[in-house]
């Protein structure tokens, strides 16, 4: 199979850490065209769920159907997958896994502003404190492709996007050498 001409980047983190904003900015600033897929929105739009959980205000994702839908898109490369979890994606898919982190008190405020129920705010806040998403990424992908980035201010976001754009430039150089 031919290697894609653009990478697959996973941007993950606890809800409220800025995944979607980062993904959109990255697609705008990338030196090569990238397609942003907000996986949560995809699940809803394509009906890739088993049920809706009223208590948690979230969908129970049908992971097999999700992966079947994403496979041909990811195979083309040039994709930014934006989701609060990453372990579901096969290791072979990702060229870079970015885990966004945020101070838990700031995260609490962000989730409250979204109108999340207290139980959901508490669970997500606890997940951030316990580094659940970071540990998930580290146990699912090679260490060298997982990066942890702080996402608390606009300055953080700008620095993160610059760093990922630099990574894309290097990735392209490496791909050109291997041809």
DSSP sequence for 140-174: HS-GGGEEEEE-SSHHHHHHHHHHHHHHHHHHHHH
* Number of DSSP helices (H) and strands (E) in the chain, helices first: 7, 7
Residue 104 CA to residue 84 CA, distance in Å, equals 16
Binding residues: 16, 18-21, 114
Residue 121 CA to residue 52 CA, distance in Å, equals 18
Binding residues for ATP: 16, 18-21, 114
């Amino acid at each position: 199979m031919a290697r894609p001409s653009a990478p697959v980047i996973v941007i993950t983190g606890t809800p409220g850490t800025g995944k979607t904003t980062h993904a959109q900015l990255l697609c705008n600033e990338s030196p090569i065209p990238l397609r942003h897929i907000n996986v949560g929105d995809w699940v809803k739009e394509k009906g890739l769920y088993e049920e809706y959980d009223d208590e948690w205000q979230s969908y129970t994702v049908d992971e097999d159907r999700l992966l079947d839908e994403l496979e041909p898109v990811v195979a083309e490369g040039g994709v930014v997958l934006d989701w609060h979890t990453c372990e579901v994606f096969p290791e072979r898919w990702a060229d870079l896994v970015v885990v966004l982190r945020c101070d838990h008190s700031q995260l609490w405020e962000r989730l409250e502003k979204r109108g999340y129920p207290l139980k959901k705010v508490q669970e997500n806040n606890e997940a951030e404190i316990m580094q659940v998403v970071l540990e998930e990424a580290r146990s699912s992908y090679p260490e060298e492709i997982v990066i942890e980035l702080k996402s608390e201010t606009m300055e953080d976001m700008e620095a993160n996007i610059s760093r990922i754009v630099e990574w894309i430039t290097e990735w392209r150089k490496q791909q050109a050498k291997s041809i």
